[in-house]
Amino acid sequence: MTTEETSPIDHLLRGIATDHVETVRDAWRDLLADKAGAVPAVQAKLASHAWEYNPRDPLPRYLGVLLSLLDELDPGAFEKEIDRLLDTQLHPLHRTTVEMLAQRRFEQPQTHIGPDIPVYVASDIADRSVVIHNLETWSRTATLSLTGVTRIDIIARHPQLDYLGLYNLFFSGIILTWPADRVPAQHRWWRRLDAEFTFYHEVGHHACGHIEGGSVAEQEQEANDYARKMMRKAHPILSAIARALLFPFRPLLRPLVARLETAGDAL
């Protein structure tokens, strides 16, 4: 680790305080690459007495980020730190943060894909084995750029959620939604293609180096283009047949495609 003034942990917290995506992302990656040095650095920050007092922004964010990072670095050290903090005099807001993150102690990755990326599937999803199989298959698509992705979380899809997938700009993580109940056989094929495209779309944000939050039209178009390229590589025969069948109708389909791409920008 470098000096305290220039250490990755300080860069990380500075990036959190200023909402600077590149600073947070680079510092997070540096810390994950140096686990031996990063764990004691995080523990030293967590040993602060600041968590006892009325929190002012960005302190609440600091605590959540530090604990999340420690969980990624060393789950055993994370469990001990959770227990230690819960035994101290915490401000109620900080105690809520610790109690929420304490639930991670019961999480276990269901599989790893790509360059050892942990995949967590919510327990309320019925078809967990199907989700795992699909992700393992999709991750083997030629030239898919997963390097640098830190984790993938699959959560249950609910009507109140206004997205099918998300890319965490700060920590290079991907969140996908999946129906909680088992999908009927007649809908399974379409749902799988829909989820696969969303997965490639979110990876596209990562691969293209997007660092702006919200729905930026140019970035959404890049992510869509990336997803289409991956779909063609994953399903070359299906893609060729679809292009051949739909080619005569391209002029008629352009308005529909434009509407679908506009809807896809919300992904």
Answer yes or no: do 149 and 247 share one domain: yes
pLDDT for 253 equals: 45
pTM of the predicted structure, to 2 decimals: 0.75
* Average pLDDT score, the chain: 85
CA 91 centroid distance within chain: 29
Specify the number of domains making up the chain.
Answer: 2
Choice among 79-83, 139-143, 212-216, 227-231 with the minimum mean pLDDT: 212-216
Answer yes or no: do 75 and 117 share one domain: no
206 near 120, Cβ under 8 Å?
A: no
**Mean pLDDT across 8-37:** 91
Residue 33 CB burial class (10 angstroms; 0-12, 13-18, ≥19)? exposed
The 10s digit of each residue's pLDDT in 139-190 is: 999 999 999 999 999 998 887 777 889 998 888 899 999 988 877 766 677 8
Answer yes or no: do 184 and 241 share one domain: yes
Q: Which helix (H) or strand (E) is 93 found in, with range?
A: helix 92-102
Answer yes or no: do 128 and 77 share one domain: no
The 10s digit of each residue's pLDDT in 52-74 is: 988 888 888 899 999 999 998 99
Rounded CA separation 195/193 (Å): 5
pLDDT at 109 over 70: yes
- Picking from 106, 138, 172, the residue at the C-terminal end of a domain is 106
